[in-house]
Amino acid sequence: MLNITALTKMDLTYLQNHLPEDLKDAVSLAQFPTAEEAGDRLASTDILLTSGAFQDDWLPLLPKLRWFQSLSAGVDKLPLKKLDERGIQVTNMSGVHSIQMSEYALSVMLDFVRRSHTLMESQSLKEWNHRIRTAELHGQTLGLIGTGAIGSEVARKAKAFDMKVVGYSRSGRDREHFDDMRKGKSGLYSLLRESDFVVVIVPATRETENLIGAEELALMKPSAFLVNMARGSVIDETALIEALRKGILAGAALDVFREEPLPADSPLWGMEQAALTPHIAGNTPKYVERCAEILFPNIRRFIENKPLINRIDPEHGY
C-alpha cells in the first residue's frame, strides 16, 4: 500500500471522502497540519502533498519519498534541484485555476470598460451622473502572455465578447481560440503594441523575471489595460508605477506583487489607475474538488508506472 501524506492546513476532507473505489485498497491518505505532527508517518511516506511549500529539512525525514505533488500551480519556491537529485518526481496543479482565474481576468477587464469604480463612487455620493463614458470589449484586441491552461480559457471566454485574441509563448505554436500566436522578443513587442488589454499569466522562472519592464510598458497603447495574474516578479513594479503615473498606459489590475502582503507604503494603494486584489484570483470553493480531478488519475498513473500529469521540468522550473 502506498502511503500518501498531506502536510497542509487546507481542508482535504473531500479527497479522503471521495477516494475512488479502485484506490481505497491501494493507498493510505493521511493529513497533518505540520511535519512535527506527522511524526513517524513521514518515514513511510511514498507521496507527499503540500499547499506549495517544501522545506529542506524535510528531506532527511522522507527516505521513501518518490513523488511530491504540490496542491498549487506555482513551484518557484520549491527546491527543485534537490528533489531532482533525490530522484523525486514533482508535479503541480496546473489547470486547477483555469475557471476562476479566467473569470477574474474577464471581470477586471469588464470593470475597466464599464467604469465600475467610477459608478460606485457616484453611487456612494448619491450622484446621478449619466455623462460617465463607458466602453466595450467587443472588437478590442486581447494580448495573452502565457497560453497554457489558464491563458487558453481566458482566450475562449474572450471570444464570446468578440475580441481578437493574440497569444505569446516560447514556442509560438498555434492554439485553439487564438487568432494569432507570437514568440521571441519581436513577437512580445508586437503583441504589446497592438493590444488594448494585456493579460500576463506565465510561471515565475529565470526567463520571466522582469519580463515586462519599462521598455515593454513604453510600447503599450496609452489606452491599454494590463492584468497581472502571474507572479509579482514578472513585472517590474517600480516601472509599472511610473508608467501609470505618466499615463503610458491607462490602468492595471494586479493580483500579485513583489512583496506580499503589499506594503502599506506602496504607491499602488493610492492610485486610481490600479485595481488591487490580495492574490485571490485563484480562489474558489471548488478548489480541492478540482485538485481531485488531477490527483486521482495521477495516483493511478504512478501505480502503473506511467508518466505523471503536470510533471515539472527542474531545468525550466515549470
Same fold? 2-96+285-303, 98-276: yes
Residues known to be catalytic? 231, 260, 279
Whether 292 contacts 14, CB under 8 Å: yes
Whether 153 contacts 102, CB under 8 Å: yes
What's the burial of 216, exposed, middle or buried (CB within 10 Å: 0-12/13-18/19+)?
buried
| pLDDT (0 to 100) of residue 294 | 97
Query: For the chain, which residues score pLDDT lower than 50?
Result: none
- Tally of CB atoms within 10 A around 78: 21
| pLDDT (0 to 100) of residue 68 | 98
Domain range summary for the chain, segments of one domain joined by +? 2-96+285-303, 98-276
Specify the pTM.
0.93
Strand 197-200 and strand 180-182: the pairing is: unpaired
What's the burial of 266, exposed, middle or buried (CB within 10 Å: 0-12/13-18/19+)?
middle
Structure confidence by residue, pLDDT tens digits, 276-297: 999 999 999 999 999 999 999 9
Whether domain 98-276 has CATH 3.40.50.880: no
- 73 secondary structure, DSSP code: S
3-state secondary structure 272-291: CCEEECCCCCCCCCCHHHHH
| pLDDT (0 to 100) of residue 318 | 87
CATH among 3.40.50.720, 3.65.10.10, 3.90.1560.10, 3.30.360.10 for 2-96+285-303:
3.40.50.720
Which whole-number Å values give the CA distances from 119 to 224, 272, 273, in the listed order? 20, 13, 15
- Look at residues 200, 199, 236, 232 and name the one whose alpha carbon lies nearest to residue 218: 236
| pLDDT (0 to 100) of residue 77 | 87
Whether 148 contacts 93, CB under 8 Å: no
